[in-house]
């Protein structure tokens, strides 16, 4: 439970950081959001040290959490949504495809329905 609280606090602080700078649902610009994510992903691809990789991954997380807030989602929404994704991923098999990605069982159900409920409660 401690880790869930820490995740919640990190997301909350990122959302507040954005709100303090005027980044709200009314200012959400998907082109800008995807450009920022691409920039951070490019930094990850170009990283030559674990420190640079670590920094790029945390920057990605920061942008993602900020974008969730700009969508009008709360920390609670984000943590609940993440738990849904984690639960779905836990249903994947231990076997991997030729690219090394875990495979899904035939009866796999993704998190989409639960995520849609969260968005619907927000009017999104």
Overall average pLDDT of the 29-54 stretch = 98
Sorted by where each begins, the domain ranges of the chain are 1-72, 74-124
User: 78 burial class (0-12, 13-18, 19+ CB within 10 angstroms)?
Assistant: buried
> What's the pTM value of the predicted model, to 2 decimals?
0.86
Coil, helix or strand at residue 113: helix
**Looking at the predicted structure, is the pLDDT value of residue 1 above 70?**
no
Provide the CB-side half-sphere exposure for 49 (13 A, CA): 3
pLDDT band at 94 (very low <50, low <70, confident <90, very high): confident
pLDDT tens figures, 47-87: 999 999 999 999 999 999 999 999 999 999 999 999 999 99
Rounded to whole angstroms, the maximal C-alpha distance in the chain is 46
- Cα separation, 32 vs 54, whole angstroms: 23
Short-list 27, 21, 124, 115, CA closest to 70: 27
């Amino acid at each position: 439970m401690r880790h869930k609280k820490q995740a919640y606090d990190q997301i909350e602080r990122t959302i507040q950081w954005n709100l303090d700078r005027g980044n709200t649902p009314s200012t959400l610009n998907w082109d800008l959001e995807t450009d920022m994510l691409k920039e951070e992903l490019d930094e990850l691809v170009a990283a030559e040290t674990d420190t640079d990789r670590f920094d790029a991954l945390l920057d990605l997380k920061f942008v993602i959490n900020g974008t969730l807030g700009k969508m009008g989602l709360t920390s609670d929404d984000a943590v609940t949504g993440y738990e849904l994704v984690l639960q779905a991923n836990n249903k994947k098999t231990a076997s991997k495809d030729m690219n090394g990605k875990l495979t899904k069982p035939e009866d796999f159900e993704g998190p989409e329905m639960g995520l849609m409920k969260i968005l619907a409660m927000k009017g999104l």
